[in-house]
């Protein structure tokens, strides 16, 4: 039995060394991702993975809530970085289960416990995919908005009496009826006559 215990201790030491090494490598990867996204690419977009952990909780008023943890990227403590988002969810007014976020906590990945670091690190590939999708969506929406605003500015700069541009292929509109007023003035010939001296 003593030999079995010693064998278990040796196995535990080996596994602990492997775990420490894996965690150190994960930390180096997270630092590289942080540097690449924030320093090299300058991405200012926020994204989050699916929950890697969820637990039931009870609020102060005995309401049941759900606490979920996600790996995320965004601004924390004045810097864009990877972090763990812990969201507390409550049921909304329609009593749909756990859709209303009532509290959020953002913890930089480097400040998390070892267990949370290891759990969240597994979500990094998914997070990077979500981030790429968000960047593409935001870039596309921004391009559409720029075009729409430019068109509005062009319309606002046109003089009020300028005709509306005719789309290609559309029939030319007929000229509007003239609303010109006749402003010619005729004077009475006696109006400016000098009185004759007597």
Q: What is the pLDDT of residues 167-188, one digit of tens each?
A: 666 676 666 566 565 555 555 5
In the chain, DSSP finds a helix count (H) and a strand count (E) of 3, 4
Question: Would you say residue 39 lies in a domain?
Answer: yes
Question: Would you say residue 52 lies in a domain?
Answer: yes
Q: Could you tell me the residue range of the domain that residue 107 belongs to?
A: 7-153
Question: Would you say residue 141 lies in a domain?
Answer: yes
Tell me the pLDDT of the chain averaged across its residues: 83
Residue 194 has pLDDT above 80, yes or no: no
Q: Are 61 and 76 in contact (CB under 8 A)?
A: no
Question: Would you say residue 147 lies in a domain?
Answer: yes
pTM metric for this prediction: 0.67
Question: Would you say residue 191 lies in a domain?
Answer: no
> What average pLDDT score do residues 41-47 get?
90
Binned at pLDDT 50, 70 and 90, residue 193 comes out as low
Question: Would you say residue 126 lies in a domain?
Answer: yes
Question: Would you say residue 183 lies in a domain?
Answer: no
Which of helix, strand or coil describes residue 70? Answer: strand
Question: Would you say residue 103 lies in a domain?
Answer: yes
Q: What is the number of structural domains in the chain? A: 1
């Amino acid at each position: 039995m003593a030999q079995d215990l010693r064998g278990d201790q040796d196995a535990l030491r080996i596994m602990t060394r492997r775990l420490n090494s894996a965690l150190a490598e994960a930390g180096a990867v997270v630092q590289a991702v942080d540097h690449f996204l924030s320093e090299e690419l300058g991405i200012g977009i926020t994204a989050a993975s699916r929950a890697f952990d969820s637990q039931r909780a009870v609020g102060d008023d005995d309401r049941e809530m759900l606490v979920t943890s996600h790996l995320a990227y965004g601004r924390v403590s004045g810097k864009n970085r990877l972090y763990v988002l812990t969201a507390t969810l409550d049921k909304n007014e329609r009593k749909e289960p756990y859709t209303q976020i009532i509290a959020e906590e953002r913890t930089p990945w480097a400040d998390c416990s070892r267990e949370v670091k290891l759990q969240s690190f597994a979500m990094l590939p998914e997070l990077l995919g979500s981030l790429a999708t968000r960047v593409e969506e935001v870039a596309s929406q921004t391009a559409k908005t720029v075009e729409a605003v430019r068109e509005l500015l062009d319309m606002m700069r046109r003089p009020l009496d300028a005709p509306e541009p005719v789309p290609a292929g559309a029939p030319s509109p007929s000229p509007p009826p003239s609303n010109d007023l006749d402003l010619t003035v005729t004077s009475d010939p006696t109006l400016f006559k000098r009185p004759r001296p007597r």
